[in-house]
Amino acid sequence: MYSYFIPSQFVRSVFHITPEMLKERGVRGIITDLDNTLVEWDRPDATPKLIEWFKEMKDAGIQVTIVSNNNEMRVHSFADPLGIPFISRARKPLGNAFKQALKTMSVKKEEVVVIGDQLLTDVFGGNRQKLHTILVIPVAKSDGFFTKFNRMVERRIFSYLHKKGQVTWEEEE
């Protein structure tokens, strides 16, 4: 059961994920969370650095779809100006939104990575679909109400996995 909470990969931020790195793995699509993965949960727009990251992915032929548990207004207002497809109210870790994103991008499971900042939604959901999951450190130090609860549970899972030697990185404070 705990194996579902172990990401395939861990990086500090999306900016450590390069088109070259993804191309080496045969990746043609990215399913990414929005809040605290790409930008702070309370930031309405993409940063210039993030806009450049999206452009690099597009130029490399790598599609990006945002899959967020947040409401449509929040996700639409962020993604639409960038021309990025999205799925809001995704109900992660349930699998339907992941399957829908794969279908939208017309890619196979082996050609996709899931990027997110939460074990309980992004990693667990992606792993259940047998996708390559990449955990990033949350962009913001604060969280919304439901995410605070998730973080509390995540700390317990990280602690257990660390004691078992299954976590090979250290969380940043």
How do the domains of the chain map onto residue ranges? 2-163
Query: In sequence order, what E strands does the chain have?
Result: 9-11, 29-32, 63-67, 86-87, 112-116, 132-136
Report how far apart, in Å, the C-alpha atoms of 164 and of each of 22, 145, 159 are: 29, 30, 9
Report how far apart, in Å, the C-alpha atoms of 11 and of each of 92, 103, 114, 141, 156 are: 21, 26, 12, 17, 20
Is omega for the bond preceding 93 within 30 degrees of 0, making it cis?
yes
Please tell me the predicted confidence (pLDDT) of residue 143: 63
pTM, two decimals, is 0.86
> CA triplet 91, 157, 30: central angle to 5 degrees?
45
> CA triplet 151, 30, 171: central angle to 5 degrees?
30
Please tell me the predicted confidence (pLDDT) of residue 172: 42
Please tell me the predicted confidence (pLDDT) of residue 165: 75
> Is 2-163 a domain of CATH 2.60.40.10?
no
Give the contacts of 33 (CB within 8 A, at least 6 positions apart). Answer: 66, 67, 68, 92, 115, 116, 117, 118, 121, 122
- For the chain, residues with pLDDT lower than 70 are 1, 142-147, 151, 167-173
Backbone φ and ψ for 35, nearest 5 degrees, come out as -70, 125
